[in-house]
Chains A and B, each alone.
Chain A
């Protein structure tokens, strides 16, 4: 049986929720970073799913807008990973920790 839009969106929501929970709860900043990537992937998945069922009769929509957007997101995410990991490395050098509860110098 062919999965419908609902199944895809369910998976996508699940992925997003797991990612979000990870961002909220994990202490290691690298794990948090990975969870962020997971949330981006959830968004990508729902984009592709919406495209696949996008013409009104359960068939793919016209054009490739969604794929282009997904590629765009992946490209930006790759760039972001590069910058983000560099920041984390710099942070670790400066503070000798990657635990977010130790990074509280902005506390008012």
Chain B
């Protein structure tokens, strides 16, 4: 059995043994889960040094011409992604030991985390669409379980349900796309598909539709507009979960999958254009929404949406025709590079937010915090490093990856402008967050009493901060993407981006310094463009419409026609026949006589 298979299965073993065996012993369960994550990380270090290729394939299902294989494919992207998953996963496990120390559902929580690690590794290592889809659904399940960890809280239960349902919408498209592609080419393996597409030519409109359907899966999982509504609500889950699943790994699965099928995006230019524009729209709208939120986790959630939009936009450019030739893998590499760096600094920001929330006794409203830099310096400084990386300040990792993404968008001026505005907004809202939370005066008792978090929670912050600083340098990513395969910005783009980032930070600081509430309040942004309300309205219209229809069918057809109708028929016929029963003997005799006359007439004259 290869290393990759052990990385895949070890978390499953941990999850199963916790759920089936040692569930009652919360601390032991937690250590088992952390140990499995740790071993997976060490094995990953071994895996990414080894050679690539496929590992341990066996046929899972064979129906007619279709063979579904459980096989692992290890490419450059896979190595980068599996490192992110296991490293961030391990740090989040360790952080959780502190964060969830006194939680009643600790064993269940760690079982969920291990199940997630198993599912996510499956997505990363899958070598075909069918296997990826299975694990795709499994991460959905583990995400559902972890968002709803505090299911006693109604909002958490609702949020987990919403996340699952919205993801199902996207996954339906994903499955349809896989089937379309399989129907057209007869292949579902990634490498087999790539080879087939190189050799044969297919109907471009078919490929476009297949790619758009597959993209639906990414829209759901990576929370792009219009299916982004689940991610902010998913913040109801424990904060380490938000860091791992809803910032660094699972939501990036959509981008990872798109990167993996870059060859398909190149073959489907219309779909590529759709992907670019959906990504750009998400990046801009989410950044706008983030500027007006007051829940620390919601701000980070919208920021995640916005950055995912960046990645999706970049990957979409793979199919963009630049003077007759597709931009190609360079673009998707840029998207993946941003995914890689983003995983570090966004996980850092979420864990930092978790530390702040922990220190403030589960207070999440930034307007009740303040001045925390004096009370918890390690958290604050690492958080500020994450902020600077997210804002794209050189020489932090975010600067390099954002440069790569923006270099790709230089192919299309409108999207370049959207990207630049988003970059400014990103710096602005992060600066707003930091100014309010870490500087100024404490605004509540909880913030005054806050103290530095324990070492078990500080250590992951420091390690991730280190990652956020160095992940953009060549030695940190060169082993899975050759620097030559990344786009290079033309002209003064890096300088302009730096100026935009600094401008955003300064504006955010000056506007919010010493304030008690937002100086500018834009209702439409606070209400998130009324998209949730719109969906509620749609649900109400359609659900109520269907309900009315069902009610009409029930009342008119079933009750009215079938049940009461048969009763009425009986009564009516009875009424008719009742007239004949006059109770008068002589009338009966008369009718009898008439009947005999008719019979005689028929026998003798009509028939005779």
Contact = CB atoms under 8 A, between A and B. Distances in A.
A24 interface: yes
Interface in A18-39: 20, 23-25
Contacts of B581: 106-108
B608 interface: no
Interface string A4-23: 00000000000000001001
A45 B53 CA distance: 118
B323 to A, nearest CB: 95
A89 interface: no
Interface of A: 20, 23-25, 100-101, 103-108
B589 A23 contact: yes
9 contacts: A20-B593, A24-B586, A24-B590, A25-B586, A100-B585, A105-B583, A107-B581, A108-B578, A108-B583
Interface string B577-608: 11111111110011001000000000000000
Contacts of B586: 23-25, 100
Nearest to A20: B593
A108 B589 contact: no
Given A104-B583, A104-B584, A24 B589 contact: yes
A20 B594 CA distance: 12
A25 B587 CA distance: 10
Contacts of B578: 108
Contacts of A104: 582-584
Most chain B C-beta atoms within 10 Å of own C-beta, residue among A23, A101, A108: A108
* CB-CB nearest 4 A-B residue pairs: A107-B583, A108-B581, A104-B583, A108-B578
Given A103-B585, A104-B584, A108-B579, 16 more contacts: A23-B586, A23-B589, A24-B586, A24-B589, A24-B590, A100-B584, A100-B586, A101-B584, A105-B583, A106-B581, A106-B583, A107-B582, A108-B577, A108-B578, A108-B580, A108-B583
Contacts of A101: 584
A100 B579 CA distance: 19
A101 to B, nearest CB: 7
A108 B588 CA distance: 13
B189 to A, nearest CB: 80
Nearest to A23: B589
A4 to B, nearest CB: 22
A24 B589 CA distance: 7
B75 to A, nearest CB: 89
B442 to A, nearest CB: 92
Contacts of B583: 104-108
Interface residues of B, number: 13
A61 B589 CA distance: 35
Most chain A C-beta atoms within 10 Å of own C-beta, residue among B579, B581, B584, B585: B585
Contacts of A107: 581-584
A105 B584 CA distance: 9
A25 B593 CA distance: 13
A100 B580 CA distance: 17
A24 B592 CA distance: 11
A9 to B, nearest CB: 15
Contacts of A108: 577-583
A106 to B, nearest CB: 5
Nearest to A104: B583
B573 to A, nearest CB: 12
A104 B585 CA distance: 8
A101 B585 CA distance: 8
A100 B586 CA distance: 8
Contacts of B589: 23-24
B588 to A, nearest CB: 9
Contacts of A105: 583
Nearest to B590: A24
B174 to A, nearest CB: 69
B586 to A, nearest CB: 5
B64 to A, nearest CB: 69
A100 B590 CA distance: 14
A27 B586 CA distance: 9
A88 to B, nearest CB: 13
A104 B581 CA distance: 10
Contacts of A23: 586, 589
Nearest to B575: A108
A31 B581 CA distance: 24
A36 to B, nearest CB: 10
B596 to A, nearest CB: 10
A5 to B, nearest CB: 18
Most chain A C-beta atoms within 10 Å of own C-beta, residue among B579, B582, B583: B583
Nearest to B574: A108
A14 to B, nearest CB: 16
Interface in B553-581: 577-581
Nearest to B582: A107
A2 B583 CA distance: 48
Nearest to A107: B583
A48 to B, nearest CB: 22
Contacts of B585: 100, 103
A20 B596 CA distance: 13
A59 B577 CA distance: 52
A23 B588 CA distance: 11
Contacts of B582: 104, 107-108
Nearest to A36: B589
Contacts of B577: 108
Nearest to A29: B585
Contacts of A103: 585
A23 B586 CA distance: 7
Nearest to B577: A108
Contacts of A100: 584-586
A60 B378 CA distance: 141
A23 B589 CA distance: 8
A25 to B, nearest CB: 7
A7 to B, nearest CB: 22
A30 B593 CA distance: 20
A34 to B, nearest CB: 15
B578 to A, nearest CB: 4
Interface string B250-277: 0000000000000000000000000000
A103 B593 CA distance: 20
B587 to A, nearest CB: 9
Nearest to B587: A24
Contacts of A106: 581, 583
A24 B584 CA distance: 11
